[in-house]
Homo-oligomer: A and B are copies of this chain.
Amino acid sequence: MEALKERIVREGRGIGGGVLKVDSFLNHQIDVALTREIGCWLAARFPQARPTKILTVESSGIPLACTVGEVLGNIPVLFAKKAAPNTMIEGVYSTDVKSFTKETVSTIRISRTLLGPEDRVLIVDDILAYGESALGLTRLANSAGASVCGIGIAIDKRFQGGYDRLVEAGHRVEAAAVIRSISDDNIEFESVHV
């Protein structure tokens, strides 16, 4: 998606270790118009998926997930939580995921009452790196007996292998921008996504 790639070129920065800093428009400060555009683009990539829920994990995927849910017909968005509030009283499905930008392992969880075997889940997230987060979300969906009908991503850092892991696991993955490599002074995109 051109608008996203242009913005990455203009404001994104490689800060070592394959980490891409895009917090001025995607995952700390949010450009709501761009997010909406990306969400519409992603929603259009899954015309046959007929999801019943959009699933993401707090926090950066939430704005994108809300747009996708809205565009696909006001489908509910469910976001997995990293902490358990005392309102989560009916039992949870949970799984552990590694974060490479925060260098931590965290448990993500969803309430058992909000996802079930009748659900078709479209996973949405802002960045795909090693695939830990998206794979964690597929495990949560599977724990509830739900099926995963697709995975939509804003920025796929293809060189980190998450895409391959998800495709090998049988998922259809669509990304608005696919990055081949990141160095200190250059961000290179896969040419297939012009």
* Interface residues, chain A, with chain B CB atoms under 8 Å away: 15, 19-25, 27-33, 35-36, 53, 58-59, 62-63, 66, 69-70, 74-79, 81, 83-89, 99, 101-104, 110-111, 113-114
Copies assembled: 2
Give Cα A132–Cα B156 distance, bound, in whole angstroms: 37
| A20 contact set on B, CB distance < 8 A | 87
In the assembled complex, the Cα of A59 lies from the Cα of B66 at a distance in Å of 13
Contact in complex: A23, B111 (CB < 8 Å): yes
A102 adjacent to B74 (CB under 8 Å): no
**Contact present for B23 and A74 (CB under 8 Å):** no
Inter-chain contact B74/A33, CB cutoff 8 Å: yes
